[in-house]
Amino acid sequence: MPGSRTRSYWADRFAIPGWFEDIDFLLFDQILERQSDHGVVGDLLEIGTYLGKSAVVLGSHVRSCERLTVCDLFEDPGVGEANNREQSRYYSRLARNAFESNYRLFVPELPVIVQGMSHTIGDHVSAASLRFAHVDGSHLYDHVHGDLVAVESLMQPGGIVVCDDFRSHHAPGVAAAVWQAVFERGFHPIIVSNMKLYGTWGSPDEDLAALRSWLTARPEIPQEEQQIFGRALLRVENVQRNGRLVLVKRFLPPIVVEALAARRERIAVQNRRGQISKG
């Protein structure tokens, strides 16, 4: 169960389509909550926001002295044939008004929206201002490499960076860029989920200890600890509540899984609202 800032969204989280697993919802929430509890003040960034599923979690944690910036092409064309092909294949339904409508379902004030290529993000976010960044834009190596270089300069010491699709079969460029940052630029992995790698350019020790403690109290989350080049790395899997759904997700295209999950949750939301109105 997430914290108080996101509890209402957790109940209706499938109302927004997208690829954001429950374990990542919980990790985002826990990391951001811990930062706030320890007096860390800083802005938040999401590169590649799709229809807002993860952005709502970020927006729920933004305080009055902070801001969330999201960057996405939305319906704008990309640069280059490969980028346009990727956008057409995976994000054909993406539109800014859809993102804004979804976001406002749960967070009343919109974030700062940068509609365009992510290489301009340094013009909109101040250096060393971020406590948390979610890099989930292009899957092409050159773009991901550029995003990580830019984000490194925008992070506060100890800020957390989350890299999506670091091990996806269809996105080898992401894996190459992320592990290059680890081996060549001092990016320290802390924890990996099914699809995301969480790390920092600061010291990982405090965050590692906090996450280890948090996971100890949650045996329902499949977890283990490994060593990579002498450093601890936590590994977690999604909470498996439905074995049938696991098999479906493994063999069907993401867009089909997304549609099935959204339909199932719409029915659940309608049922809950019907029960409330009857009460």
Q: Please state, as a whole number, how many other Cβ atoms lie within 10 Å of the Cβ of residue 266.
A: 13
pLDDT in tens, the chain (279 residues): 789 999 999 999 999 999 899 999 999 999 999 999 999 999 999 999 999 999 999 999 999 999 999 999 998 765 555 554 555 555 455 689 999 999 999 999 999 999 999 999 999 999 999 999 999 999 999 999 999 999 999 999 999 999 999 998 889 999 999 999 999 999 999 999 999 999 999 999 999 999 999 999 999 899 999 999 889 999 999 876 554 444 444 444 555 656 655 665 565 555 545 544 444
Pairing state of beta strands 188-192 and 196-200? Answer: antiparallel
Domain 7-239 - what CATH class?
alpha beta
Pairing state of beta strands 112-115 and 68-72? Answer: parallel
**Residue 15: DSSP 8-state:** G
Please give the pLDDT value at position 262. 62
Residues paired with 233 in a beta bridge: 226
Please give the pLDDT value at position 233. 98
Type of residue found at 39:
G
Type of residue found at 91:
Y
Question: In the block, which residue shows the tokens 């974030």?
Answer: 111
Provide long-range contacts, Cβ within 8 A and 24+ apart, for 214-218: 214/30
- ∠ CA 208-227-218, nearest 5°, is 45
Identify the sign of the CA torsion 14, 20, 22, 26: negative
Q: Please state, as a whole number, how many other Cβ atoms lie within 10 Å of the Cβ of residue 55.
A: 30
Sequence spans of domains, the chain: 7-239
